[in-house]
Amino acid sequence: MMLILGALLTGFILPNFPPQPTNSFMVGDIVINEFMASNDSTVADTAGDYDDWIELYNKGSVPVDLTGYYLSDKFDNQTKWQIDTTFVLQPDSYLIIWADENGSQGPFHANFKLSAAGESIYLLDSTATLLDSVNFGPQTTDMSMARKPNGTGNFTMGEATFNANNDATSRKSDIAEEDFLVFPNPARDQLRIEIEARELREELIILNMQGQEMLRKEMLETQLQIDTDSWPRGFYFLQYKGLTRKIQLMP
């Protein structure tokens, strides 16, 4: 019997099937919530580059210090890249890590890229304990893999929900472009927002590129002026009633 098995193994090569999306390992409140391994035109980083990205999410009820956490795309080197700056992720909040091998662009740029042909992502805490991992197969350009339901479900491919709840993927904006004005863009010291009166009484949210919330305010008036002089220069995302606007603050 062993001779027959040996002959079979010698004469044939087992097929190398690409890894498929899995949710086989997830511990704790910080999870890999979404990622894009082939970003051609979906969202650019602060340098204007369309790089791979990984979204972390705090699905818990308390803030979590991510200082010293690890991310990797290698099973045999799961501590390949470490968050080497102090960062606390608030509950129901997101952090974007750019997988671009370009640490010179900031502390949230990892030293690896994702393969559009398929590979793995590993998330470990500061003690090198594995918290979450995902294996994925071939990817489609400008489509992401996201957990649905948000933070807890299996990964499914679809339109990206960068820095946002994955359950809102299919939600279309219910406000017309002409009823929601943001200017100037690019801006410097101030940003002005004008909204049609019938579209009031919804929350306006502004996030930076790392998913940190810069402003959350219920719109009760048709005009709002925001002082951005103290905000770091770069790109931000403004969300209102399902509509997302990308804005830039210039030096």
- Note the pTM of the prediction, 2 decimals: 0.69
Mind listing the pLDDT tens digit for each residue in 133-149? 999 999 999 999 999 99
pLDDT value for 70: 98
8-state DSSP, 100: B
β-strand pairing of 94-99 with 109-110: parallel
Q: What percent of the chain has pLDDT over 70?
A: 87
Strand order in the sheet with 203-208: 213-218, 203-208, 234-240, 243-249
Question: What single-letter amino acid sits at 136?
Answer: F
Within 13 A of 77's CA, how many CA atoms are on the CB side?
8
pLDDT for the residue numbered 236: 87
Per residue in 7-29, pLDDT (tens digit) is: 344 443 333 334 444 444 677 89
pLDDT band at 62 (very low <50, low <70, confident <90, very high): very high
Q: What pLDDT is attached to residue 187?
A: 94
**In which band, very low, low, confident or very high, does the pLDDT at 174 lie, cut at 50, 70 and 90?**
low
DSSP secondary-structure letter at 178? G
Q: At residue 228, does pLDDT exceed 50? A: yes
Domain 177-249 - what CATH class? Answer: mainly beta
pLDDT tens for 67-82 read 999 999 999 999 999 9
Tell me the pLDDT tens digit for each residue of 180-227: 899 999 999 999 999 999 888 888 989 887 777 889 899 999 999 999
- How far, in Å, CA of 233 to CA of 112, rounded? 25
Q: What is the dihedral of CA 206, 209, 211, 213, to 10 degrees?
A: -30
pLDDT value for 141: 93
Mean pLDDT of all residues in 103-113: 93
- Predicted confidence band of residue 173 (pLDDT cuts 50, 70, 90): low
Residue type, 208: N
Residue 3 per-residue DSSP state: H
Element (H, E) at 196: none
Q: How confident is the model at residue 88 (pLDDT cuts 50, 70, 90)?
A: very high
**Structural domain boundaries of the chain?**
25-166, 177-249
Q: Is there a shared CATH topology between the 25-166 domain and the 177-249 domain? A: yes
| CATH (residue range 25-166) | 2.60.40.1260
